Structure 1
Amino acid sequence: MADTKTLKLTMGPVPYLWSGEKWRDFYYRVAESGHVDAVTLGEVVCSKRDHFTRPFIPDVVERLQQSGKSVALASLALVTMERELGATRRLASGPALVEANDLSALRLLAGRPHLVGPFVNVYNGATARLLAKKGATRICLGPELPAASLASIIAGAPELDYEIIAFGRLPLAISARCAHARAKGHSKDNCQFVCGDEPDGLDVDTLDGQPFLTINGVQTMSRHCQVLLGDLPALAAMGITHLRLSPQDCDMAEVAAIYASVRDGLVSPDEGLAKLKQVYAGAPFSNGFIHGQPGMNWVAA
C-alpha cells in the first residue's frame, strides 16, 4: 500500500464573496494550522470582487509565509476585459509564485516557475509535459477526471507535482454572465454583490424541485462536496502529491486536521468522515468522478 504520509495539504482560494475581514481572518486561522503545507489564494471567480480582499493580501501572505507555508497567488479563471488582462499582466510580472487558471496567464508566465490551476484543462500526459517545459512545477488536475485518467496523465509527465481537489464543492463551469445576479433580479453590471448573501453558494433546484447545482456569481459549482478521504492510498499510489482543500463556510482548519489524521493513519477514513460531517453539514458528500461515476454519487471505501 502506498505511503499516504507523503501527501501534502494545500488550502485553495476562497471561491465565494466574503467580506475582506472574514477572508483575512480565515487565512490567519489557516496560518495557525500545523497541517496545511501550502496555500493558494486570490480572486479566481469574478474580478469585481477583487477590491474586497486586495487590501489584505500583503498581510495575509506575510502571516502565511512566517508560519512556514508555501504561498501562491491565483489568476482569474476567465479573462474577458482589458482591465482583467492588465491585472493578469501585473500578477505575472510580480515576484510572487502564480497559479495560472487561464491560458492568457499561462502565456505570460512561460519561462518562469508557476503552478497550473484546475480551470486549465489537462487531459493527457503530452499536455502536462508541454506545461512542464513552459515552467509549470505543479498541476491541479480537473475534478471530473476518473482515477484511470489521473494515473495516465501522471505517468506521462512524472517530473511534475500533481494536486487534486480532495474537499469542497467542485468548480464545474464559469461564464461571462452572472446567474447569481439574475436569480436575485439584477444584471451583472448592477449586481450589487448579491453573491455575498450566500457565503457558501446559492443552491438551485430543477423545475421538478430536485436538488441540482450551486451557483456562485458567474461560476457553476457542484451541489455536493467532494470528499476523498477513502481514496488517499490510491491517490498516493498513482503519484498525486498534494490534496487541495477548497474553502467552504466552515472550520477549514479542522477539516485540514481531519485529513491529516486520516492521511497519517491516526483514524480510519470512516472515523474521519463522521468527524467531517460534524464540521461541515452544508452539502451532501460525493466522490463519484474519481470512481468513473456521476460526480454526485458516493462510493463507499
Structure 2
Amino acid sequence: MDLTVGANPFFWDLETTRGFYEKLAKAPVARVVIGELVCSKRLPFVANAFPEAVETMMAAGKDVALTTLALVTLKRERKQTADLFDAGVTVEINDLSALQHLPDGQGFWVGPLVNVYNEGTLRWLADKGAQRICLPPELPIDSVQRLAEVGRESGVAIEVWGHGRAPLAISARCYHARLHDRIKDNCQFVCGEDPDGRDVDTLDAQKFLVANGVQTLSHATMSMARQFDLLRDVGVSALRLSPQSRHFGEICEGYARVLDGREDKDAFAKALLALVPDGALADGFLTGECGADWSGAA
C-alpha cells in the first residue's frame, strides 16, 4: 500500500499553488493528481502553475494525472475537459460526462466524486479502461473489501480516502458567494479567503460542515491513520491524501512512516490532531456508527 495525493479542492493564489507542488515533489508519495476540481472560474488564476507542477512531479519520479471538474455544465467546461485528453498525461475522471471525450484505448483514473458503490459499476469502468479507482469516502469496510476483490479480478487498483475533509456534495450554486450576499456570477472569488474552506455551524453552534465554493465538505478531517492494517488486509492498494493549506508535507511524511512500519499508528494519529484544521478527525464511515465518529476518541 502506498500514497496518492489528490487534486487540491481549495482556491489558493498562483504563488501558493506553485510553492505547494514544489514542496510536494520531495514528499514520499507515489502519485499526484493535479488541476482544478471544483470551479472552472478559478482556473485562469492558477492554470499557469499546472504544467510546471506536472513537470516537477514527473522529474521527481511520481505518476501524474490531470483531474476533470467534478461538475461539467458549460460549453467552455466541456471544451476544457476534452482538451485534457490531448495533454499527453493520464486523466482522472470526476464527472462521468468526461468519458465521451476519452480516445479509444486510452486508460484513465477515477476519482472519489464518482459514485462507485457496487461491483457492476466497477466492472463497467474497468471495461472502459479504468486503471485506478479511488472509492467514495462514505463506504463501510465490508463494501471496500468486496470492491477491492473485484478490482483485483478486473486489474484495477483500488484507493481509499485516507486523509482530508471528505467531499460530500457538489452543486451548481455557490454557498461561499451566498454567505457573503453575492451572486455566483459576481462572487469576487471570496472562497479564496478560506484556504481550507469555511465552517458551517448548526443552529446550536456545533461545527457541522465546511463550504468550499460550490462544494460541501465534512468539518472533521477524515483520516485512516488508525486503519492501515485493516485496509491493507482487505486489498486496498493506496491511501489518498487530500491537500490542506498547512503542515501537508509533514502529514505525508507521517503516513509514509506508518506504512513503512517506522512509526506507531496510534502515536501518529494523536500527533495528527495538532496538524489538521480545528483538530477534528473522523473515520466513522469505515467502521463506526456514523461518519463523524473517530476511533481514537477514547
TM-score above 0.5, yes or no: yes
Q: How does 1:10-159 map to 2 (within 5 A)?
A: 10-33=4-27, 35-109=28-102, 111-158=105-152, 159=155
Is the 8 Å Cα contact of residues 124 and 156 (structure 1) preserved in structure 2?
no
| Distance in 1 separating the partners of 2:26 and 2:264 | 25
Unaligned runs of 5+ in 2: none
| Distance in 1 separating the partners of 2:74 and 2:122 | 28
Cα distance, 1:135 vs. partner?
0.6
Matched residue type, 2:111: G
Name the structure 1 match of 2:162: 166
**TM-score under structure 1 length normalisation:** 0.95
Cα distance, 1:84 vs. partner?
0.6
Matched residue type, 2:201: D
Matched residue type, 2:70: A
| Distance in 2 separating the partners of 1:52 and 1:66 | 24
Is the 8 Å Cα contact of residues 213 and 221 (structure 1) preserved in structure 2?
yes
Name the structure 2 match of 1:221: 217
| Distance in 1 separating the partners of 2:277 and 2:173 | 29
Cα distance, 1:280 vs. partner?
2.6
Call closer, same or farther: CA 1:250–1:282 in 2, change over 3 Å.
farther
Cα distance, 1:163 vs. partner?
0.9
Cα distance, 1:237 vs. partner?
1.2
Q: Secondary structure at the match of 1:173?
A: strand
Q: How does 1:248-263 map to 2 (within 5 A)?
A: 248-263=244-259
| Distance in 2 separating the partners of 1:238 and 1:125 | 15
| Distance in 2 separating the partners of 1:49 and 1:283 | 28
Q: Secondary structure at the match of 1:132?
A: helix
Call closer, same or farther: CA 1:224–1:292 in 2, change over 3 Å.
same
| Distance in 2 separating the partners of 1:181 and 1:245 | 27
Which of 202, 207, 230 matches 1:211? 207
Matched residue type, 1:218: V
* Most deviating of 74-83 and 54-63: 54-63
Matched residue type, 2:263: V
Q: Secondary structure at the match of 1:222?
A: strand
Is the 8 Å Cα contact of residues 11 and 244 (structure 1) preserved in structure 2?
yes
Which of 270, 274, 279 matches 2:275? 279
| Distance in 1 separating the partners of 2:278 and 2:60 | 29
Is the 8 Å Cα contact of residues 126 and 156 (structure 1) preserved in structure 2?
no
**TM-score under structure 2 length normalisation:** 0.95
Is the 8 Å Cα contact of residues 284 and 293 (structure 2) preserved in structure 1?
yes
| Distance in 2 separating the partners of 1:189 and 1:40 | 28
Call closer, same or farther: CA 1:281–1:198 in 2, change over 3 Å.
closer
Cα distance, 1:263 vs. partner?
1.0
Cα distance, 1:292 vs. partner?
4.6
Matched residue type, 2:170: I
Aligned length: 294
Identity %: 46
Q: Secondary structure at the match of 2:192?
A: helix
Q: Secondary structure at the match of 1:250?
A: coil
Cα distance, 1:274 vs. partner?
2.5
Question: What is the Cα-based RMSD across aligned positions, in Å?
Answer: 1.3
Cα distance, 1:190 vs. partner?
0.2
Q: Secondary structure at the match of 1:14?
A: coil
Is the 8 Å Cα contact of residues 140 and 162 (structure 1) preserved in structure 2?
yes
Cα distance, 1:133 vs. partner?
1.0
* Most deviating of 37-46 and 99-108: 99-108
Matched residue type, 1:10: T
Matched residue type, 1:161: A
Q: Secondary structure at the match of 1:156?
A: helix
Q: Secondary structure at the match of 1:39?
A: strand
Cα distance, 1:283 vs. partner?
4.1
Matched residue type, 2:199: D
Q: Secondary structure at the match of 2:25?
A: helix
Unaligned runs of 5+ in 1: 1-6
| Distance in 1 separating the partners of 2:79 and 2:213 | 22
Q: Secondary structure at the match of 1:72?
A: strand
Name the structure 1 match of 2:195: 199
| Distance in 1 separating the partners of 2:120 and 2:164 | 28
| Distance in 2 separating the partners of 1:75 and 1:113 | 14
